[in-house]
Amino acid sequence: MLRSLVVLLLFVFANAANAENWKLYDSGVGLIVEGENYDKQLKVVERGNVWDAKELYENGAQAGKYRGNQLFAAWIQGPHTKEYLNSYGTPVWMYKYKITYPDGKTFEAGPSGFYTPGFTYFGIKTGGYTNGNWKIDWYIQHRDTKEIRQVGSSEFKTTYGR
């Protein structure tokens, strides 16, 4: 009985230690494939830091229709969610983001869960912001402790009609 308890405690502590080791693998802004496997694999087609808002809109990239199913988006990739489970088997890290528009206004979203492979993304619609500098700050939030950590930033610029 004591041996079983020790093994169980070691398992719980090992999982807790792994949960603290969330690591950023990639983040960026660009065109991604938003196909039928959108939640299984992040497929980045093109990344960049200067984008023509007119071209993105006219070619359907802001609606996920560029070249069939490409979306203008921001993404973040970390470890597979099985690497940071709590004692209930639930991923402990969730993501949040803050987008800063060219005029300095901000929008925040989250916390939300990562897709099982450990990534997430959101489509970017430029709206009336055709020229200027943008910034996206990525955060992870611990489901149980509510701790928040900034894990990355992506900056890019939009122009209108190169």
User: What band does 129 get if pLDDT is binned at 50, 70 and 90?
Assistant: confident
pTM, to two decimals: 0.85
User: Rounded to whole angstroms, how far apart are CA atoms 153 and 43?
Assistant: 19
Mean pLDDT (whole number) for 108-135: 95
In the chain, domain spans: 2-159
Nearest to 74 by CA among 116, 112, 26, 115: 26
- Give percent above pLDDT 90 in the chain: 81
Q: What CATH number is given for 2-159 in this structure?
A: 2.60.40.2550
Is residue 67 over pLDDT 50? yes
What pLDDT sits at residue 43? 96
* Calpha distance 77→138 (Å, rounded): 11
**Residue 1 pLDDT class (50, 70, 90 cuts):** low
Q: What is the pLDDT of residues 3-61, one digit of tens each?
A: 654 444 444 444 444 446 899 999 999 999 998 999 999 999 999 999 999 999 999 99
Laid out side by side, the sheet with 106-113 consists of 50-52, 148-159, 132-142, 93-100, 106-113
Quote the CA–CA distance of 139 and 110 in Å, as a whole number: 9
- Please give the Cα distance from 135 to 100 (Å, whole number): 5
Specify whether the CB–CB gap between 158 and 51 falls below 8 A.
yes
d(Cα 72, Cα 123) in Å, to the nearest integer? Answer: 6
Token couple for 46: 């093109």
Q: Which two tokens stand for residue 57?
A: 């809109």
